[in-house]
A = this chain, B = another copy of it.
Amino acid sequence: MYFHALIPFKPVNPKTRLSSILTQEEREEFARIMLEDVILAVRRTGCSATLLCTSKYECRDALVAVRKEGLNEAINWALPQFHCPSLIIMSDLPMVTPGSLQRVISTKADMAIVPGLGGGTNVIFVKKPEKFHVEYYGFSFRRHLQIAEELELTVEIIDSMRMSTDVDEPADLVELMIHGHGNAREWLYEHGFTLSVEEGRVKVHRDGKEVV
């Protein structure tokens, strides 16, 4: 089956909720490396990718469209242009694997959805993208189920820790450092982040100082 992936990406000043532990330059590099891990997993499932970027960005392994409008407007502009099953996947899911994506794209339903922790939506797979539209932000998981119902689409909800855990806040680094396998995990170790166990809990330190 041929399909296409849409990956929204913010190259400049991304991941501001990591500002307490990473400089802007580091956040831009880390976000790029997480994106590359996502692109790699997508490509290994046999899927091509288009990045929807908020500003100019160069990428060897994906098409790039620069869109100045908001996230929803950009995706809803792109969806009707794909006449094949489409994946919408966030760029901050560096724990994603080809195997976990395979579970998504092999759904028998009209679409599959992976919720994010906290009520968001991390991955959508929709077989007829030209009929669908997205509404991210807030309780978007519920909203996307409602949209599917309005459009009379069957939905499979995929149960995956790897894809439900987006890297937004310092606490999310614990999961990435434990379960990651790609360059984003390596980047953290190379930049002085370590795991330790204190008082029965796993903590993250950077250069000896506790960050989580």
Contact with B along A173-196 (1 / 0, CB 8 A): 011001100000000000000010
A91 within 8 A of B: no
CB distance from A147 to the nearest CB of B (A): 16
A160 contacts the other chain (CB 8 A): yes
Interface-central residue, A115, A139, A165, by most chain B CB under 10 Å: A139
In the bound complex, residues from chain B placing their C-beta under 8 Å from that of A161 are: 115, 117, 159-161, 164-165
Is A46 engaged at the interface, CB distance under 8 Å to the other chain? no
| Nearest CB in chain B to that of A202: its residue | B119
Q: Distance (Å) between the CB of A172 and the closest chain B CB?
A: 10
A80-134 residues with Cβ-Cβ distance < 8 A to B are 100, 115, 117-119
CB distance from A155 to the nearest CB of B (A): 14
A interface, by DSSP: helix, strand, loop or mixed?
A: mixed
Shortest CB–CB separation between residue A102 and chain B, in angstroms?
11
Could you tell me if B178 and A115 are in contact, using CB atoms closer than 8 angstroms? yes
Neighbour of A138 across the interface among B162, B178, B201, CB < 8 A: B201
Q: How many residues of A contact B (CB 8 A)?
A: 25
Q: Does A137 contact B (CB under 8 A)?
A: yes
**Nearest residue, chain B, Cβ from A119:** B202
* Chain A 125-160: CB-based contact to B (< 8 A → 1; otherwise 0): 000000000000111011000000000000000011
Q: How far is the CA of A119 from the CA of B142 in the complex (A)?
A: 29
- For A141, list chain B residues within 8 Å (CB): 178
Q: Please tell me if A200 contacts chain B, counting CB pairs below 8 Å.
A: yes
Residue of B nearest to A197 (CB): B138
Contacts of A137 in B (CB 8 A): 200
Q: A115-B178, A141-B178, A161-B161 are in contact. List 10 more A-B contacts (CB 8 A).
A: A100-B159, A117-B161, A117-B175, A118-B175, A119-B178, A137-B200, A138-B201, A139-B195, A139-B197, A159-B160
Residues of A within 8 A of B (CB): 100, 115, 117-119, 137-139, 141-142, 159-162, 164-165, 174-175, 178-179, 195, 197, 200-202
